[in-house]
Amino acid sequence: MSTFVRLGAINLFLAVALGAFGAHGLEGKITDHYLEIWKTGVQYHMLHGTGMLLVALLSQFLGGAPKAVKAAGYLFQAGIILFAGSLYVLALTGIGVLGAITPLGGVCFLSGWALLAYAAGKRTK
């Protein structure tokens, strides 16, 4: 599960960097509406980067369904790319059709959390 520690740390680094860029580099360059969209991307990026660290930690305790835990981590990564990524690009470009991609990332996030709940139910004693 060191993969998810690495991915989580990389994603958290990027979320902090992108948050700072939004606060200092984009303010006054994009509308407040798009700045809020950027902030939403950063918020979910940060949350699910932390979720990846949680996946690495829980993999030690949820031995009954290791494939589900691993899949949850990969779904969080896919969600970050699709959800946060589409919001970042939308905020920078204003291309509204990108909003159609965002819910796919949301489904990845939801599926990842559902798999963690499933894995907790399968926990071996």
pLDDT per residue over 48-76, tens digit each? Answer: 999 999 999 988 877 667 899 999 999 99
- Is the model's pLDDT at 98 over the cut of 80? yes
Give the tens place of pLDDT for each residue, 2-54. 899 999 999 999 999 999 999 999 989 999 999 999 999 999 999 999 999 99
Model confidence at 125: pLDDT above 60? no
According to DSSP, residue 7 is labeled H
Six-digit token string for 5: 């520690």
Q: Rounded CA gap, 19 and 13, in Å? A: 10
Other CB atoms within a 10 A radius of the CB of residue 32 amount to: 9
